[in-house]
Structure 1
Amino acid sequence: MKPAERISAFVNFGRTLSELTLEELEDISWRAENNNNWFTKESVEQALKGLAMMLDSDKLEAWLSSYELKVVEKPLSVGIMMAGNIPAVGFHDLMCVLLSGHVAVIKVSSSDEILLKWIIKKLVELEPRFEKQIRIEEMLKGMDAYIATGSDNSSRYFNYYFGKYPHVIRQNRTSVAVLSGNETTEDYISLGRDIFQYYGLGCRNVSKIYIKSRAQLQDLLGALEVYSPIASHHKYHNNYDYNKSIYLVNLED
Protein backbone atom coordinates (compact mmCIF):
# COMPACT_ATOMS: atom_id res chain seq x y z
CA MET A 1 0.00 0.00 0.00
CA LYS A 2 1.11 3.53 -0.75
CA PRO A 3 1.42 5.94 2.20
CA ALA A 4 -1.46 8.06 0.89
CA GLU A 5 -3.69 4.98 0.82
CA ARG A 6 -2.83 4.09 4.42
CA ILE A 7 -3.55 7.65 5.56
CA SER A 8 -6.82 7.72 3.64
CA ALA A 9 -7.92 4.50 5.35
CA PHE A 10 -7.47 6.05 8.80
CA VAL A 11 -9.20 9.28 7.79
CA ASN A 12 -12.14 7.19 6.58
CA PHE A 13 -12.09 5.25 9.85
CA GLY A 14 -12.25 8.52 11.80
CA ARG A 15 -15.22 9.58 9.69
CA THR A 16 -16.88 6.22 10.35
CA LEU A 17 -16.45 6.69 14.11
CA SER A 18 -17.99 10.16 13.99
CA GLU A 19 -20.98 8.82 12.03
CA LEU A 20 -21.82 5.81 14.19
CA THR A 21 -25.52 5.38 14.73
CA LEU A 22 -26.96 5.42 18.23
CA GLU A 23 -27.65 1.69 17.91
CA GLU A 24 -24.05 0.90 16.91
CA LEU A 25 -22.69 3.01 19.77
CA GLU A 26 -25.04 1.39 22.26
CA ASP A 27 -24.06 -2.08 21.07
CA ILE A 28 -20.28 -1.67 21.27
CA SER A 29 -20.52 0.28 24.55
CA TRP A 30 -22.64 -2.45 26.16
CA ARG A 31 -20.31 -5.23 24.99
CA ALA A 32 -17.19 -3.35 26.17
CA GLU A 33 -18.70 -2.65 29.61
CA ASN A 34 -19.93 -6.23 29.93
CA ASN A 35 -16.32 -7.34 29.45
CA ASN A 36 -14.81 -4.66 31.71
CA ASN A 37 -17.00 -2.73 34.18
CA TRP A 38 -14.63 0.25 34.13
CA PHE A 39 -15.48 0.82 30.47
CA THR A 40 -18.81 2.55 30.96
CA LYS A 41 -20.87 3.83 28.04
CA GLU A 42 -19.66 7.38 28.77
CA SER A 43 -16.00 6.30 28.80
CA VAL A 44 -16.31 4.35 25.54
CA GLU A 45 -18.07 7.27 23.86
CA GLN A 46 -15.35 9.67 25.07
CA ALA A 47 -12.62 7.39 23.73
CA LEU A 48 -14.24 6.93 20.31
CA LYS A 49 -14.93 10.65 20.03
CA GLY A 50 -11.26 11.31 20.84
CA LEU A 51 -10.12 8.88 18.13
CA ALA A 52 -12.41 10.55 15.58
CA MET A 53 -10.91 13.95 16.42
CA MET A 54 -7.37 12.58 16.20
CA LEU A 55 -8.09 11.09 12.76
CA ASP A 56 -9.25 14.37 11.26
CA SER A 57 -7.54 14.70 7.88
CA ASP A 58 -5.77 18.00 8.63
CA LYS A 59 -4.55 16.85 12.06
CA LEU A 60 -3.31 13.54 10.70
CA GLU A 61 -1.47 15.20 7.81
CA ALA A 62 0.11 17.78 10.15
CA TRP A 63 1.37 15.03 12.47
CA LEU A 64 2.73 12.86 9.67
CA SER A 65 4.47 15.77 7.92
CA SER A 66 7.41 15.23 10.31
CA TYR A 67 7.99 11.73 8.93
CA GLU A 68 8.97 10.26 5.60
CA LEU A 69 6.53 7.46 4.88
CA LYS A 70 7.49 5.03 2.12
CA VAL A 71 6.22 2.03 0.25
CA VAL A 72 7.62 -0.91 2.25
CA GLU A 73 8.76 -3.85 0.11
CA LYS A 74 9.68 -6.11 3.05
CA PRO A 75 7.50 -5.25 6.04
CA LEU A 76 8.82 -5.95 9.53
CA SER A 77 6.78 -7.71 12.18
CA VAL A 78 6.23 -5.42 15.18
CA GLY A 79 4.94 -7.07 18.36
CA ILE A 80 2.58 -4.85 20.33
CA MET A 81 1.87 -5.72 23.97
CA MET A 82 -1.22 -3.59 24.56
CA ALA A 83 -2.42 -2.06 27.82
CA GLY A 84 -6.06 -2.09 28.86
CA ASN A 85 -6.42 0.66 31.43
CA ILE A 86 -8.70 2.90 29.33
CA PRO A 87 -10.84 2.17 26.25
CA ALA A 88 -8.89 1.65 22.99
CA VAL A 89 -5.63 2.76 24.63
CA GLY A 90 -3.62 0.52 22.28
CA PHE A 91 -5.03 2.08 19.11
CA HIS A 92 -2.23 4.62 18.62
CA ASP A 93 0.48 1.95 18.62
CA LEU A 94 -1.52 -0.07 16.09
CA MET A 95 -1.99 3.00 13.91
CA CYS A 96 1.71 3.89 13.98
CA VAL A 97 2.74 0.41 12.83
CA LEU A 98 0.15 0.30 10.05
CA LEU A 99 0.88 3.82 8.81
CA SER A 100 4.59 3.00 8.62
CA GLY A 101 3.75 0.03 6.38
CA HIS A 102 4.73 -2.78 8.74
CA VAL A 103 2.87 -5.75 10.24
CA ALA A 104 1.23 -5.31 13.66
CA VAL A 105 1.32 -8.52 15.70
CA ILE A 106 -0.88 -7.79 18.71
CA LYS A 107 -1.26 -9.23 22.17
CA VAL A 108 -4.59 -7.69 23.13
CA SER A 109 -5.26 -6.90 26.78
CA SER A 110 -8.15 -8.98 28.13
CA SER A 111 -9.49 -5.73 29.65
CA ASP A 112 -9.87 -4.11 26.24
CA GLU A 113 -10.35 -7.12 24.01
CA ILE A 114 -13.86 -6.31 22.79
CA LEU A 115 -13.22 -2.73 21.70
CA LEU A 116 -9.85 -3.39 20.02
CA LYS A 117 -11.18 -6.32 18.02
CA TRP A 118 -14.18 -4.24 16.97
CA ILE A 119 -11.84 -1.45 15.82
CA ILE A 120 -9.69 -3.89 13.84
CA LYS A 121 -12.80 -5.36 12.18
CA LYS A 122 -13.96 -1.88 11.15
CA LEU A 123 -10.50 -0.98 9.80
CA VAL A 124 -10.31 -4.12 7.68
CA GLU A 125 -13.83 -3.53 6.35
CA LEU A 126 -12.74 -0.07 5.17
CA GLU A 127 -9.34 -1.24 3.87
CA PRO A 128 -9.22 -5.03 3.26
CA ARG A 129 -5.47 -4.90 2.56
CA PHE A 130 -4.91 -4.20 6.26
CA GLU A 131 -5.96 -7.79 6.96
CA LYS A 132 -2.49 -8.98 5.96
CA GLN A 133 -0.90 -6.35 8.20
CA ILE A 134 -2.71 -7.26 11.43
CA ARG A 135 -2.37 -10.44 13.46
CA ILE A 136 -3.65 -11.15 16.96
CA GLU A 137 -1.43 -13.61 18.84
CA GLU A 138 -1.14 -14.93 22.38
CA MET A 139 2.68 -15.11 22.24
CA LEU A 140 4.90 -12.45 20.70
CA LYS A 141 7.98 -14.48 19.84
CA GLY A 142 10.39 -13.86 17.00
CA MET A 143 9.30 -10.30 16.14
CA ASP A 144 11.60 -7.76 14.48
CA ALA A 145 10.68 -5.03 16.98
CA TYR A 146 8.45 -4.55 20.02
CA ILE A 147 6.17 -1.99 21.63
CA ALA A 148 5.09 -2.87 25.16
CA THR A 149 3.10 -0.98 27.77
CA GLY A 150 2.75 -2.03 31.39
CA SER A 151 3.71 -1.45 35.00
CA ASP A 152 7.21 -0.92 36.43
CA ASN A 153 7.26 -4.63 37.31
CA SER A 154 6.15 -5.85 33.90
CA SER A 155 8.62 -3.51 32.18
CA ARG A 156 11.50 -5.53 33.71
CA TYR A 157 9.97 -8.65 32.18
CA PHE A 158 9.59 -6.87 28.83
CA ASN A 159 13.18 -5.63 28.92
CA TYR A 160 14.46 -9.11 29.67
CA TYR A 161 12.68 -10.66 26.70
CA PHE A 162 12.53 -7.79 24.23
CA GLY A 163 15.48 -5.60 25.18
CA LYS A 164 17.82 -7.02 22.52
CA TYR A 165 15.41 -5.97 19.75
CA PRO A 166 14.46 -2.43 18.68
CA HIS A 167 11.81 -1.53 21.23
CA VAL A 168 9.62 1.01 22.97
CA ILE A 169 8.83 -0.12 26.53
CA ARG A 170 6.61 2.07 28.70
CA GLN A 171 6.42 1.91 32.50
CA ASN A 172 4.13 3.46 35.11
CA ARG A 173 3.31 7.09 34.51
CA THR A 174 1.45 9.67 36.56
CA SER A 175 0.45 13.30 36.05
CA VAL A 176 0.83 16.18 38.48
CA ALA A 177 -1.03 19.49 38.87
CA VAL A 178 0.61 22.54 40.46
CA LEU A 179 -1.84 25.21 41.64
CA SER A 180 -0.71 28.82 41.96
CA GLY A 181 -3.45 29.91 44.37
CA ASN A 182 -5.13 32.16 41.81
CA GLU A 183 -7.44 29.49 40.32
CA THR A 184 -11.13 30.09 39.77
CA THR A 185 -13.94 27.62 40.37
CA GLU A 186 -14.00 27.01 36.60
CA ASP A 187 -10.29 26.14 36.74
CA TYR A 188 -10.94 23.59 39.49
CA ILE A 189 -13.79 22.04 37.51
CA SER A 190 -11.55 21.76 34.44
CA LEU A 191 -8.88 20.14 36.60
CA GLY A 192 -11.53 17.73 37.85
CA ARG A 193 -12.02 16.49 34.32
CA ASP A 194 -8.32 15.61 34.18
CA ILE A 195 -8.64 13.81 37.50
CA PHE A 196 -11.88 11.87 37.01
CA GLN A 197 -12.14 11.11 33.28
CA TYR A 198 -11.94 7.33 32.73
CA TYR A 199 -12.17 7.04 36.56
CA GLY A 200 -8.59 8.26 36.86
CA LEU A 201 -7.17 5.08 35.31
CA GLY A 202 -5.16 6.78 32.53
CA CYS A 203 -1.48 7.61 32.91
CA ARG A 204 -2.35 11.19 32.01
CA ASN A 205 -5.00 11.50 34.70
CA VAL A 206 -3.82 13.89 37.41
CA SER A 207 -3.13 11.87 40.55
CA LYS A 208 -1.09 14.33 42.64
CA ILE A 209 -1.85 18.00 43.32
CA TYR A 210 0.42 20.63 44.89
CA ILE A 211 -1.50 23.44 46.59
CA LYS A 212 -0.65 26.69 48.35
CA SER A 213 -2.65 26.23 51.56
CA ARG A 214 -5.26 24.19 53.38
CA ALA A 215 -7.82 26.89 52.56
CA GLN A 216 -7.21 26.30 48.87
CA LEU A 217 -7.76 22.60 49.44
CA GLN A 218 -11.24 23.36 50.79
CA ASP A 219 -12.04 25.48 47.71
CA LEU A 220 -10.79 22.71 45.43
CA LEU A 221 -12.80 19.99 47.17
CA GLY A 222 -15.89 22.17 47.12
CA ALA A 223 -15.63 22.74 43.37
CA LEU A 224 -15.01 19.05 42.69
CA GLU A 225 -18.34 18.14 44.28
CA VAL A 226 -19.85 18.37 40.77
CA TYR A 227 -18.10 15.05 40.08
CA SER A 228 -19.60 13.29 43.10
CA PRO A 229 -21.85 11.04 40.92
CA ILE A 230 -18.71 9.14 39.90
CA ALA A 231 -18.75 7.59 43.38
CA SER A 232 -21.90 5.68 42.46
CA HIS A 233 -19.82 3.38 40.25
CA HIS A 234 -19.45 0.24 42.37
CA LYS A 235 -15.81 -0.54 41.51
CA TYR A 236 -14.77 3.07 42.05
CA HIS A 237 -16.64 3.25 45.36
CA ASN A 238 -15.10 0.00 46.63
CA ASN A 239 -11.63 1.22 45.66
CA TYR A 240 -12.26 4.55 47.41
CA ASP A 241 -13.39 2.85 50.62
CA TYR A 242 -10.42 0.49 50.55
CA ASN A 243 -7.84 3.27 50.21
CA LYS A 244 -9.60 5.52 52.71
CA SER A 245 -9.52 2.68 55.24
CA ILE A 246 -5.75 2.29 54.80
CA TYR A 247 -5.22 6.00 55.50
CA LEU A 248 -7.43 5.84 58.59
CA VAL A 249 -5.67 2.78 59.97
CA ASN A 250 -2.28 4.42 59.40
CA LEU A 251 -3.52 7.71 60.94
CA GLU A 252 -2.62 9.66 57.80
CA ASP A 253 -4.42 12.87 56.80
Structure 2
Amino acid sequence: MTLSQRKELLVRLGNYMQAKDEQWQQAKHKAYLENHWFVPEFIELSINNIAANFLQPHQLEKLITQYQIPEENPAPKKVGIVMAGNIPLVGFHDLLCVFLSGNIAMIKPSSKDEVLIRHVVKKLTDWDESVNRLIIIGEMIKNCDAYIATGSNNSSRYFEYYFGKYPSIIRKNRTSVAILTGKENEEDLERLADDVYQYFGLGCRNVTKIFIPRNYDFIPLLNTFKKYDYLADHH
Protein backbone atom coordinates (compact mmCIF):
# COMPACT_ATOMS: atom_id res chain seq x y z
CA MET A 1 0.00 0.00 0.00
CA THR A 2 1.39 3.39 -0.98
CA LEU A 3 1.60 6.48 1.20
CA SER A 4 -1.01 8.20 -0.97
CA GLN A 5 -3.43 5.34 -0.40
CA ARG A 6 -2.87 5.37 3.37
CA LYS A 7 -3.36 9.12 3.52
CA GLU A 8 -6.57 8.86 1.50
CA LEU A 9 -7.89 6.20 3.89
CA LEU A 10 -7.11 8.34 6.94
CA VAL A 11 -8.86 11.37 5.46
CA ARG A 12 -11.85 9.16 4.72
CA LEU A 13 -11.76 7.90 8.31
CA GLY A 14 -11.82 11.47 9.62
CA ASN A 15 -14.92 12.20 7.56
CA TYR A 16 -16.53 8.98 8.77
CA MET A 17 -15.83 9.85 12.40
CA GLN A 18 -17.74 13.11 12.06
CA ALA A 19 -20.67 11.55 10.20
CA LYS A 20 -23.78 9.94 11.69
CA ASP A 21 -23.35 6.43 10.30
CA GLU A 22 -25.59 4.03 12.23
CA GLN A 23 -22.84 1.47 12.87
CA TRP A 24 -20.59 4.22 14.21
CA GLN A 25 -23.33 5.46 16.54
CA GLN A 26 -23.85 1.91 17.79
CA ALA A 27 -20.12 1.47 18.40
CA LYS A 28 -19.98 4.66 20.45
CA HIS A 29 -22.98 3.56 22.50
CA LYS A 30 -21.44 0.12 23.08
CA ALA A 31 -18.19 1.78 24.19
CA TYR A 32 -20.15 3.67 26.85
CA LEU A 33 -21.99 0.54 27.98
CA GLU A 34 -18.69 -1.32 28.44
CA ASN A 35 -16.94 1.56 30.20
CA HIS A 36 -19.11 4.13 31.95
CA TRP A 37 -16.21 6.55 32.25
CA PHE A 38 -16.70 6.98 28.50
CA VAL A 39 -19.81 9.13 28.68
CA PRO A 40 -21.17 10.20 25.27
CA GLU A 41 -20.02 13.79 25.80
CA PHE A 42 -16.39 12.77 26.23
CA ILE A 43 -16.50 10.16 23.46
CA GLU A 44 -17.66 12.88 21.08
CA LEU A 45 -15.02 15.29 22.36
CA SER A 46 -12.21 12.83 21.76
CA ILE A 47 -13.48 11.78 18.33
CA ASN A 48 -14.00 15.35 17.16
CA ASN A 49 -10.51 16.31 18.31
CA ILE A 50 -9.00 13.37 16.42
CA ALA A 51 -10.94 14.12 13.25
CA ALA A 52 -10.27 17.86 13.38
CA ASN A 53 -6.64 17.84 14.54
CA PHE A 54 -5.11 14.62 13.19
CA LEU A 55 -7.01 13.52 10.09
CA GLN A 56 -7.34 16.64 7.98
CA PRO A 57 -5.41 16.47 4.68
CA HIS A 58 -3.12 19.40 5.50
CA GLN A 59 -2.26 17.96 8.92
CA LEU A 60 -1.38 14.58 7.46
CA GLU A 61 0.69 16.27 4.78
CA LYS A 62 2.54 18.21 7.47
CA LEU A 63 3.46 14.94 9.21
CA ILE A 64 4.54 13.40 5.93
CA THR A 65 6.78 16.37 5.14
CA GLN A 66 8.20 16.70 8.65
CA TYR A 67 9.25 13.05 8.82
CA GLN A 68 10.03 12.68 5.12
CA ILE A 69 7.80 9.61 4.75
CA PRO A 70 8.45 7.97 1.36
CA GLU A 71 5.70 6.90 -1.03
CA GLU A 72 6.82 3.28 -0.69
CA ASN A 73 8.16 1.45 2.38
CA PRO A 74 9.88 -1.67 0.99
CA ALA A 75 11.01 -2.95 4.41
CA PRO A 76 8.32 -2.17 7.00
CA LYS A 77 9.09 -2.70 10.68
CA LYS A 78 6.73 -4.36 13.15
CA VAL A 79 5.81 -1.92 15.91
CA GLY A 80 3.99 -3.29 18.95
CA ILE A 81 1.54 -0.85 20.52
CA VAL A 82 0.22 -1.44 24.04
CA MET A 83 -2.64 1.02 24.34
CA ALA A 84 -3.93 2.73 27.46
CA GLY A 85 -7.64 3.01 28.20
CA ASN A 86 -8.03 6.14 30.26
CA ILE A 87 -9.84 8.20 27.61
CA PRO A 88 -11.65 7.20 24.39
CA LEU A 89 -9.28 6.28 21.53
CA VAL A 90 -6.28 7.48 23.53
CA GLY A 91 -4.00 5.14 21.57
CA PHE A 92 -5.16 6.29 18.15
CA HIS A 93 -2.29 8.71 17.51
CA ASP A 94 0.28 5.94 18.01
CA LEU A 95 -1.60 3.83 15.47
CA LEU A 96 -1.83 6.79 13.10
CA CYS A 97 1.92 7.38 13.15
CA VAL A 98 2.83 3.73 12.58
CA PHE A 99 0.24 3.26 9.83
CA LEU A 100 1.00 6.51 8.01
CA SER A 101 4.72 5.69 7.98
CA GLY A 102 3.99 2.38 6.24
CA ASN A 103 5.08 0.19 9.13
CA ILE A 104 3.12 -2.68 10.65
CA ALA A 105 1.10 -1.89 13.79
CA MET A 106 0.70 -4.85 16.16
CA ILE A 107 -1.94 -3.58 18.58
CA LYS A 108 -2.89 -4.77 22.05
CA PRO A 109 -5.92 -2.64 22.96
CA SER A 110 -6.85 -1.85 26.53
CA SER A 111 -9.85 -3.80 27.79
CA LYS A 112 -11.26 -0.39 28.80
CA ASP A 113 -11.11 1.02 25.28
CA GLU A 114 -11.51 -1.90 22.91
CA VAL A 115 -14.77 -1.18 21.11
CA LEU A 116 -13.84 2.05 19.36
CA ILE A 117 -10.34 1.09 18.23
CA ARG A 118 -11.56 -2.25 16.85
CA HIS A 119 -14.37 -0.51 14.99
CA VAL A 120 -12.01 2.06 13.48
CA VAL A 121 -9.57 -0.62 12.32
CA LYS A 122 -12.39 -2.74 10.87
CA LYS A 123 -13.67 0.25 8.95
CA LEU A 124 -10.24 0.79 7.40
CA THR A 125 -10.02 -2.87 6.41
CA ASP A 126 -13.55 -2.77 4.97
CA TRP A 127 -12.42 0.03 2.68
CA ASP A 128 -9.15 -1.66 1.73
CA GLU A 129 -8.35 -5.28 2.57
CA SER A 130 -4.60 -4.66 2.38
CA VAL A 131 -4.89 -2.80 5.70
CA ASN A 132 -5.05 -6.28 7.25
CA ARG A 133 -1.34 -6.62 6.56
CA LEU A 134 -0.50 -3.30 8.21
CA ILE A 135 -2.74 -3.32 11.29
CA ILE A 136 -3.04 -6.48 13.40
CA ILE A 137 -4.96 -6.63 16.68
CA GLY A 138 -4.19 -9.34 19.23
CA GLU A 139 -3.41 -10.17 22.83
CA MET A 140 0.21 -11.11 22.12
CA ILE A 141 2.60 -8.71 20.42
CA LYS A 142 5.83 -10.69 20.40
CA ASN A 143 8.73 -10.48 17.96
CA CYS A 144 8.29 -6.82 17.08
CA ASP A 145 11.12 -4.54 15.99
CA ALA A 146 10.03 -1.71 18.30
CA TYR A 147 7.40 -1.00 20.95
CA ILE A 148 5.19 1.83 22.15
CA ALA A 149 3.60 1.09 25.53
CA THR A 150 1.44 3.32 27.69
CA GLY A 151 0.26 2.48 31.20
CA SER A 152 0.63 3.14 34.90
CA ASN A 153 3.85 3.59 36.84
CA ASN A 154 3.48 -0.02 37.95
CA SER A 155 2.89 -1.50 34.48
CA SER A 156 5.76 0.56 33.08
CA ARG A 157 8.16 -1.62 35.09
CA TYR A 158 6.91 -4.66 33.21
CA PHE A 159 7.13 -2.78 29.92
CA GLU A 160 10.75 -1.89 30.70
CA TYR A 161 11.48 -5.53 31.52
CA TYR A 162 9.93 -6.95 28.36
CA PHE A 163 10.51 -4.16 25.86
CA GLY A 164 13.54 -2.31 27.20
CA LYS A 165 15.96 -4.20 24.97
CA TYR A 166 14.12 -2.97 21.87
CA PRO A 167 13.76 0.57 20.53
CA SER A 168 10.81 1.72 22.60
CA ILE A 169 8.66 4.53 23.93
CA ILE A 170 7.31 3.71 27.39
CA ARG A 171 4.89 6.16 29.00
CA LYS A 172 4.03 6.20 32.70
CA ASN A 173 1.43 8.06 34.74
CA ARG A 174 1.49 11.75 34.10
CA THR A 175 -0.71 14.75 34.78
CA SER A 176 -0.44 18.50 34.35
CA VAL A 177 -0.25 21.49 36.69
CA ALA A 178 -1.64 25.01 36.44
CA ILE A 179 0.04 28.14 37.81
CA LEU A 180 -2.33 31.02 38.50
CA THR A 181 -1.47 34.66 39.14
CA GLY A 182 -4.93 35.83 40.16
CA LYS A 183 -5.20 37.97 37.02
CA GLU A 184 -6.90 35.31 34.90
CA ASN A 185 -10.03 36.38 33.03
CA GLU A 186 -13.25 34.40 32.75
CA GLU A 187 -12.15 32.65 29.56
CA ASP A 188 -8.89 31.55 31.19
CA LEU A 189 -10.79 30.02 34.10
CA GLU A 190 -13.28 28.35 31.75
CA ARG A 191 -10.43 26.66 29.92
CA LEU A 192 -8.83 25.63 33.20
CA ALA A 193 -12.13 24.06 34.26
CA ASP A 194 -12.09 22.03 31.04
CA ASP A 195 -8.50 20.95 31.67
CA VAL A 196 -9.41 19.81 35.17
CA TYR A 197 -12.73 18.06 34.57
CA GLN A 198 -12.91 16.79 31.00
CA TYR A 199 -12.62 12.99 30.83
CA PHE A 200 -13.23 13.00 34.61
CA GLY A 201 -9.63 14.14 35.03
CA LEU A 202 -8.26 10.81 33.77
CA GLY A 203 -6.23 12.18 30.85
CA CYS A 204 -2.48 12.67 31.06
CA ARG A 205 -2.99 16.34 30.20
CA ASN A 206 -5.66 16.90 32.83
CA VAL A 207 -4.67 19.40 35.50
CA THR A 208 -4.50 17.76 38.92
CA LYS A 209 -2.58 20.41 40.86
CA ILE A 210 -3.00 24.20 40.92
CA PHE A 211 -0.42 26.63 42.27
CA ILE A 212 -1.82 29.95 43.51
CA PRO A 213 -0.41 33.14 45.08
CA ARG A 214 -0.99 34.05 48.72
CA ASN A 215 -4.42 35.51 49.49
CA TYR A 216 -5.83 34.14 46.25
CA ASP A 217 -9.56 34.77 45.76
CA PHE A 218 -11.07 31.34 45.07
CA ILE A 219 -14.62 32.55 44.39
CA PRO A 220 -14.29 33.17 40.61
CA LEU A 221 -12.50 29.84 40.15
CA LEU A 222 -15.05 27.86 42.17
CA ASN A 223 -17.92 29.55 40.35
CA THR A 224 -16.38 28.53 37.03
CA PHE A 225 -15.92 24.95 38.20
CA LYS A 226 -19.68 24.71 38.83
CA LYS A 227 -20.21 24.07 35.11
CA TYR A 228 -19.01 20.52 35.83
CA ASP A 229 -21.10 19.91 38.95
CA TYR A 230 -23.16 17.40 36.97
CA LEU A 231 -20.18 15.02 36.93
CA ALA A 232 -20.97 14.24 40.56
CA ASP A 233 -23.97 12.27 39.27
CA HIS A 234 -21.63 9.75 37.61
CA HIS A 235 -20.49 7.26 40.23
TMscore range, shorter length: over 0.9
Give the equivalent residue in structure 1 for 2:60: 60
Counterparts of 1:233 and 1:24, CA distance in 2: 26
Give the equivalent residue in structure 1 for 2:30: 31
Give the equivalent residue in structure 1 for 2:7: 7
Give the equivalent residue in structure 2 for 1:145: 146
Counterparts of 1:208 and 1:126, CA distance in 2: 44
Pairing 1:163–2:147 present: no
Within-5 A mapping of 1:1-253: 1-21=1-21, 23-53=22-52, 54-70=54-70, 71-234=72-235
Q: Aligned to 1:59, what secondary structure does the other structure show?
A: helix
Q: Aligned to 1:227, what secondary structure does the other structure show?
A: helix
Counterparts of 2:25 and 2:19, CA distance in 1: 13
Deviations along 1:180-204, whole A, 9 cap, x unmatched?
A: 1101233212210111111111000
Counterparts of 2:214 and 2:27, CA distance in 1: 45
Q: Aligned to 2:147, what secondary structure does the other structure show?
A: strand
Q: Aligned to 2:181, what secondary structure does the other structure show?
A: coil
Greater Cα radius of gyration, structure 1 or 2: 1
> How far did residue 72 of structure 1 move?
1.5
> How far did residue 139 of structure 1 move?
1.7
Alignment size in residue pairs: 233
Deviations along 1:154-185, whole A, 9 cap, x unmatched?
A: 11111111111111111111111111110123
Counterparts of 1:126 and 1:91, CA distance in 2: 18
Which structure carries more helix by proportion?
1
Instruction: Name the stretch that deviates more: 65-74 or 91-100.
Output: 65-74
Which consecutive unaligned segments of at least 5 residues does structure 1 have?
A: 235-253
Counterparts of 1:233 and 1:56, CA distance in 2: 34
Which consecutive unaligned segments of at least 5 residues does structure 2 have?
A: none
- What TM-score comes out, normalization by structure 1 length? 0.87
- What TM-score comes out, normalization by structure 2 length? 0.94
Counterparts of 1:49 and 1:176, CA distance in 2: 25
Counterparts of 1:107 and 1:2, CA distance in 2: 25
> How far did residue 214 of structure 1 move?
4.5
Matched to 1:183, the amino acid is: E
> How far did residue 17 of structure 1 move?
1.3
Counterparts of 1:63 and 1:72, CA distance in 2: 16
Counterparts of 2:64 and 2:28, CA distance in 1: 30
Counterparts of 2:25 and 2:6, CA distance in 1: 29
Q: Aligned to 1:106, what secondary structure does the other structure show?
A: strand
Give the aligned CA root-mean-square deviation in angstroms: 1.4
- Contact residue 105 and residue 136 of structure 1 kept, 8 A: yes
Deviations along 1:96-121, whole A, 9 cap, x unmatched?
A: 11111111111110000111101111
